[in-house]
Amino acid sequence: MKVIYDISALPEMKDIIAPLEEKHGIRLASQNELAQQQVETLKGQRAISSDMRFEDKTDEYIIQQLQQFIQIGLKMYYIAAVRETDEFKDALSKLGVTCYFITELTIDGARKWLDMAFVEEGGESTDSSAKNPVFQHISHVAVQQKEERTTVPTRAIVVSGASGAGSTFIGLQVAKRLSQANHVNYVEAGLRPCLTTWYGVSDADEAKATLSEPVLPAIEDGNLRVYTRNPFGDEAISLRAVTETITHIPGVAVYDMALQDYLASVNHSFAQETVRVLVTNTDLHRCRYLESLPADIVVVNMAPTRLPIDEAEFEDYWPNAKVVFVPYEPEQSLAVVQGQPVILHSTGVQTAIHKLVTHIEGGVGHADSLVG
């Protein structure tokens, strides 16, 4: 059984970790237990800390302390209050610290963050991740509802999903369909090469699409405005700043987020009504990892058309959400090669997307009344 040492000074930590112990094969250990260990035995072990431990210490001091823990081989997790700038976040990210930035701590939110962090480690020991480090960072995407705002979108759609499940494909399909009758602001915020994959632009042109002040669309396609974070370089503006800006731009907002940001923002509203769409594929093991994530609509993408699948089995993972099955057809691969944002000639895909958009346009309450 793996150990995670609690050096957070948070009284809620036992309640946060307890339901995860059996699921991930971990045990919460105290700070006193950590102090009794030989340094050479700590390599590959985990520890979790927080701002509460350091009270009024400076960010520079916190970074130095975390660096010392990392140097002895500990994999660090850190719960922090949102800062005014990204300097602290960036410093922790460079150290390989898995961070959770919050405005208010909730046991449920912190538990879901740790659950997903452990899942994304693939159940492997942190010895192997030290050899091939994956720096994870969960950005806090809080959008404050300010009374002085004059333009607040009536609906925002937040799309995310498992790696390789095709969330950008689904997000663009939804945005394009909605743009037939509305202005739509589509934000590819997951650092994926959206423009090169779906609009056929060069890598060089995609690299120029870094969002900065002022926030401007990279492409305008009829009523659809496409904003993309640059996957080839450093960001000039935070995701939080992007969402706050998009809130003031008329039109429906569609945010295609990385799974970490989706998780970090589950308690925040991006508009008067926020509809959350979670994308997975037909891999049941992946569905088990994602089933604890809240969603209004779940899209099972790349569903086989020639092999039977039990749709009810997938619906059991998300009993409170509507489940839409999008078929995998050869035209999808052709569309990627040709840089088509929407497959106009695939009847099966378009039928499924129409069903998905019907759920979205009807709102969460209306979707519950729809059949299938």
Q: Provide the terminal-to-terminal Cα distance of the chain, rounded to the nearest Å.
A: 42
Of 15 and 93, the one with more pLDDT: 15
3-state SS class at 241: helix
Of 236 and 50, the one with more pLDDT: 50
138 has a pLDDT exceeding 60: no
Place of tokens 């948070």: 10
Backbone angles phi, psi at 115, to 5 degrees: -55, -50
Q: Which domains does the chain have, with CATH numbers?
A: 2-131 (3.40.50.2300), 155-368 (3.40.50.300)
How many other C-beta atoms lie within 10 A of the C-beta of residue 99? 24
Average pLDDT over residues 84-112: 86
Burial category of 84 from C-beta neighbours within 10 Å (exposed 0-12, middle 13-18, buried 19 and up): exposed
Identify the H or E element spanning 100.
strand 98-102
Average pLDDT over residues 33-45: 86
How confident is the model at residue 298, as a pLDDT?
95
Place of tokens 């693939």: 122
- Please tell me the distance from the alpha carbon of residue 168 to that of residue 258, in angstroms, as a whole number: 10
Question: How sure is the predictor about 66, in pLDDT bands with cuts at 50, 70 and 90?
Answer: very high
142 has a pLDDT exceeding 70: no
Q: Which has the closest alpha carbon to 97: 51, 60, 138, 40?
A: 138
Sort strands 75-81 and 46-50 into parallel, antiparallel or unpaired.
Answer: parallel
Q: CB neighbours of 112 closer than 8 A, spacing ≥ 6?
A: 263, 266, 292, 293
Question: How sure is the predictor about 193, in pLDDT bands with cuts at 50, 70 and 90?
Answer: low
Four-CA torsion 220, 222, 224, 226, nearest 10 degrees: -20
Q: What is the mean pLDDT of the chain?
A: 78
Type of residue at 48: I
Q: Which tens digit of pLDDT belongs to each residue from 250-283?
A: 889 999 988 888 888 888 888 888 999 999 998 8
Q: Which has the closest alpha carbon to 171: 76, 299, 47?
A: 299
Q: Which tens digit of pLDDT belongs to each residue from 347-367?
A: 788 888 889 999 998 754 433
Burial category of 324 from C-beta neighbours within 10 Å (exposed 0-12, middle 13-18, buried 19 and up): buried
SS (H, E, C) 156-171: EEEEEECCCCCHHHHH
pTM of the model as a whole: 0.56
Distance between alpha carbon 176 and the CA centroid of its chain, in Å? 21
How confident is the model at residue 368, as a pLDDT?
36
How confident is the model at residue 236, as a pLDDT?
54
- Please tell me the distance from the alpha carbon of residue 212 to that of residue 230, in angstroms, as a whole number: 10
User: Which tokens go with 174?
Assistant: 């939804």
Contact call for residues 211 and 236 (beta carbons, < 8 A): yes
Residues in the chain: 372
How confident is the model at residue 365, as a pLDDT?
43
User: Which stretch of 13-22, 45-54, 341-350, 352-361 has the lowest confidence by average pLDDT?
Assistant: 341-350
How confident is the model at residue 110, as a pLDDT?
87
